[in-house]
Amino acid sequence: MSEQYPVKTPEAREQSGRDLATLVYLIQAISLFTAVPFFIGVIINYVKRGDVRGTLAESHFRWQIRTFWFSILWFVVGWATVWIFGLGFLILAVSWIWVVYRVIRGWLVLADNRPAY
């Protein structure tokens, strides 16, 4: 005999999605000082992506996932170009500032109950 899970109301789905997006923004903020949580945050995004489809949080999940992948890209480019007169350090610094911007902007927009885009 299988148990059925109760169907969430649209309001409960919306709140659950907002709570998850808030958690991932917090994880991304912590990741500015240690990178390991960044991977945990994106895993949460991918695992719960289907649960937030059609809610406000869907755009925030997309925003968070793109923040992760572009930051990884710029991290690799930065480290690959460190030897060019320190250019890589500049790239890494700008990338870090960009992630700070993305986390703050996304979190504030979520707090205003608006989509990320």
Per domain, the residue ranges of the chain are: 10-111
Q: What is the pLDDT of residues 41-69, one digit of tens each?
A: 999 999 999 999 999 999 999 999 999 99
Taking the C-alpha atoms of residue 28 and residue 60, their distance in angstroms, rounded to an integer, is 13
Please state which of the ranges 5-9, 87-91, 94-98 shows the lowest mean pLDDT: 5-9
Measure CA of the first residue to CA of the last residue in the chain; give whole Å. 44
At residue 9, φ and ψ (nearest 5 deg) are -70, 160
Output the pLDDT for position 35. Answer: 86
Confidence band (pLDDT; 50, 70, 90) for 3?
Answer: low
The DSSP 8-state label assigned to residue 116 in this structure reads: -
Confidence band (pLDDT; 50, 70, 90) for 4?
Answer: low
Taking the C-alpha atoms of residue 71 and residue 92, their distance in angstroms, rounded to an integer, is 9
Q: What is the pLDDT of residues 20-48, one digit of tens each?
A: 999 999 999 999 998 899 999 999 999 99
Output the pLDDT for position 5. Answer: 64
Residues contacting 18, CB < 8 A, separation 6+: 55, 56, 57, 110, 113
Taking the C-alpha atoms of residue 9 and residue 16, their distance in angstroms, rounded to an integer, is 10
Please state the pTM of the whole predicted model.
Answer: 0.88
Please state which of the ranges 6-20, 47-61, 67-81, 92-106 shows the lowest mean pLDDT: 6-20
Question: Is the per-residue pLDDT at 7 higher than 90?
Answer: no
